Every structure is written in structure tokens, then in C-alpha cells.
Copies of this chain bind each other. A is one copy, B any other.
Amino acid sequence: MRIGALSARTGVPVATIKYYVREGLLAGGERTGHNQVSYGEAHVRRLRLVRSMVETGGLPIATVREVLTEIEDPRRDLDSALGVASRALSSHRVPDDAPDDRHVETALAIVRRRGWERVPHEHGYIRALADVVARLEFFGISDLAELEDRYARAAEQVAEADIRLLMRRADRDEILETMVVGTVLGDALFEILRRLAQVEVSGREFKGPEAKPSERDER
């Protein structure tokens, strides 16, 4: 298809498509004649992948390129490609400066209470967790441990579904694409479902069982 059709199919403006090609996020079309370039289904799929990272994930172009470069490097074994890509997708969560030991200890305690023995203690995500714990603590969120354990339990249930999804995929490209899509869209999916559930639960708690649908968030 021509670039106009590709734009219509994906809802991505032609100028943006050309920009992605220049930035190396999308392969150029196939030259089919004088001034004629043709794009295929692979372009549609890649474009949707890039848009999910940019629009839903809010990731900067540099990060998107980093992820795509990783999952396309044939010299990388799958395991390492998964690791590096997943870290790139999460880099915005890992603080540059080391959190203090007390909060790292709290973070490790959460992991220990869930029995997550396979998480390396020096993992970047532990630093990220310690950073959030420190911020929560400051605001005197009561029963923080109870809250954290509730979140950790829920996160494990979600992660089991995530990994099962990956294990169902057969070839390398599918697995890598599913990981990227699942990471970015999964974050968004949970975030929105959490808010919807908050509307439901607060309606239940504050308005009683007989309540009409809460219009709180409609105002």
C-alpha cells in the first residue's frame, strides 16, 4: 500500500510515518517504481507497536529506538534480549541516585514476605521500589506494609498471567513483541482498571449497597 493508505490504516499522520522512518523506528517502504514506495502488513504492525510505546507508554523516541534495536539484534539470545528490552521499558522508574539503606531494606522486606527468592537484591527495580517506599513513608501512609503486601500479591497474580502469555508464543519475534506490548499496555490496562475499581469500591463504601452508579468522576 502507499504511505497514504498506511496512514489511513493506522491513524498515524504521513509526516509522522516519514519521521519514524528517518529515526530508524520503521523500515522504509519497498521502491516499486519511479517515486513509488509500497508498504506492507509488517509496516502496519511495527507502526502500531511504536505508537503503543509512544502514545500509551509515553516513552521518548530514544527509548523506543533502544527497545527496537535490542529485540531486532539477531546476535542476542532471547533471554538477554528480553532482559535488556524490559529494562529499557522501565528505565524511567529506576532513580539515578541510590536510595538510603533503610528504604532498600523495606523494599527487600516486601520481596521477602512474598517469597520472591529469584529477584537479585541489587536489582534496579529494588532501587525503584525503595524510592517509591520512601515517598509513601513521608506522607505517613498508615499500615504501609499491609498496603504493600496487598499490591505485591496483586502484582504476582498479574505477572503470572503476563508470563503465561509469553510462554504461549512460539517464535522469538512473537515472544519479544508480546513482551514489549504486554509491558506497556499491561501497565495502562492495570492503571485504568484500578481507577474503575476505585469508582466501584468507593461507591460501595461511601454510598451503601443501594447506591446508584457513582457519578463522582463524571463531574
Interface residues of A (CB under 8 A from B): 45, 48-49, 51-52, 56, 58, 79-80, 82-84, 86-87, 90, 92-93, 110-111, 114, 116-120, 122-126, 128-129, 131-132, 135-136, 138-139, 141-143, 146-148, 150-163, 165-168, 177-178, 181-183, 185-207, 211-219
Contact indicator A119/B196 (Cβ below 8 Å): yes
- Shortest CB–CB separation between residue A82 and chain B, in angstroms? 7
Known: A48-B139, A120-B213, A217-B124. A161 touches B190 (CB 8 A): no
Complex contacts, A153 vs chain B, CB 8 Å: 157
**What is the total number of copies of this protein in its complex?**
2
Contact indicator B158/A150 (Cβ below 8 Å): yes
Contact indicator B162/A219 (Cβ below 8 Å): no
Known: A93-B188, A123-B199. A161 touches B157 (CB 8 A): no
Contact indicator B120/A205 (Cβ below 8 Å): no
Known: A185-B135, A216-B79. A151 touches B190 (CB 8 A): yes
Complex contacts, A168 vs chain B, CB 8 Å: 142-143
Contact indicator B151/A189 (Cβ below 8 Å): yes
Known: A83-B216, A211-B118, A217-B125. A138 touches B190 (CB 8 A): no
Contact indicator B157/A120 (Cβ below 8 Å): no
Contact indicator B135/A56 (Cβ below 8 Å): yes
Contact indicator B163/A118 (Cβ below 8 Å): no
Known: A82-B216, A116-B196, A199-B123. A161 touches B151 (CB 8 A): yes
Known: A93-B188, A120-B215, A188-B132. A197 touches B158 (CB 8 A): yes
